[in-house]
Every structure is written in C-alpha cells, then in structure tokens.
Amino acid sequence: MKHIKTLTTRDLKESMKKGGCGECQTSCQSACKTSCTVGNQSCEKMK
C-alpha cells in the first residue's frame, strides 16, 4: 500500500476462539505492583 503501513499485530477477534486458557502471567507479578498493564504481557501459547 502507498498510503498505509500496517504493523503486524495479533488478531484479537481470532484470539476469542482459542484464548482464555489462563496460563499467562498475573499482571502484578512482574514489575508494577501499583498499576495494571496487560498489553505488554506475552501469551504463553505463543512463546
């Protein structure tokens, strides 16, 4: 495309189908402890 460059992202709608296994890390166990940041976590199945 000439006008648009799309970054590679996970298809969130698709993630509804196989998601929700719950094996991922609990957010606050990383570095935060005073905020909630989820978008930076990795999916255990995609590691």
Partner 1 sequence: MIHQYKNNGYNIVMDVNSGSVHVVDDIVYDMIPLVEPLVTGGVKDADTVKAAVLACGNLRYEEKDILEAVDEVLELEKAGVLFAEDVYENAITDFKSRKTVVKALCLHIAHDCNLACKYCFAEEGEYHGRRALMSFEVGKKALDFLVANSGSRINLEVDFFGGEPLMNWQVVKDLVAYGRSLEEPHHKKFRFTLTTNGVLLNDEIMEFANKEMANIVLSIDGRKEVHDRMRPFRNGSGSYDLIIPKFQKVAESRDQMNYYVRGTYTHNNLDFSKDVLHLADLGFKQISVEPVVAEPSEEYALREEDIPQLLEEYDKLAVEMLKRQKEGNGFNFFHFMIDLKGGPCVYKRLSGCGSGTEYLAVTPWGDLYPCHQFVGNEKFLLGNVDEGIVKTDIVDEFKSCNVYAKDKCKTCFAKLYCSGGCAANAYNFSGSVNGVYDAGCELQKKRIECAIMIKAAMAEE
Q: Where does this chain bind partner 1 (CB under 8 A)?
A: 1-13, 15-16, 18-44, 46-47
> Which residues lie below 8 Å from residue 3, measured CB to CB, with a gap of 6+?
none
How far apart are the C-alpha atoms of 47 and 41, rounded to whole Å? 11
Tokens 């999916």 label which residue?
A: 43
